[in-house]
Amino acid sequence: MSRRRAREFALQMLYQQEVTRDPGSVVARSFWGVHAAAEEARTFAGHLFGKSLQARSRIDALIRRHCDNWKLRRISAVDRNVLRLGITEFLFLDTPKVVVISEAIEIARKYGTERSADFVNGILDAIRKELDAEDAERETG
């Protein structure tokens, strides 16, 4: 099973958690009760889902900072959660950022609206630049 499919699973769990407000453990248990996946995909999806929930306030602050004139709640649930997944990978995994953005664009294209891919691309690229600048500053400072 591909990493993209695992990312899609993580997106679906994030969406379910946001709609139901159930704890992550409840969402994961019910999700995996009806979705079959290889262990590697389940592990990767579970890691993305868990880290995204744990760092939700930090992740949402990054989104807010880069969404001029948009309140977080006005962003579609799909787009919001695709952004959360991408930022989770930026912050906690070693996946190259260009790969993260490319994957997020494709997932947004599949699950979002006709504007989702461009929106997700713009926000994630701006956040990538901010994080890269912070990393460069830490290395030189």
Summarize pLDDT for 61-79 with one digit per residue, the tens. 999 999 987 788 899 999 9
Report the number of distinct structural domains present in the chain.
1
Q: Each residue of 123-139: pLDDT tens digit?
A: 999 999 999 999 898 88
Round to whole Å and give the CA distance between 111 and 69: 24
Q: Which domain holds residue 63?
A: 3-140
CATH number for 114:
1.10.940.10
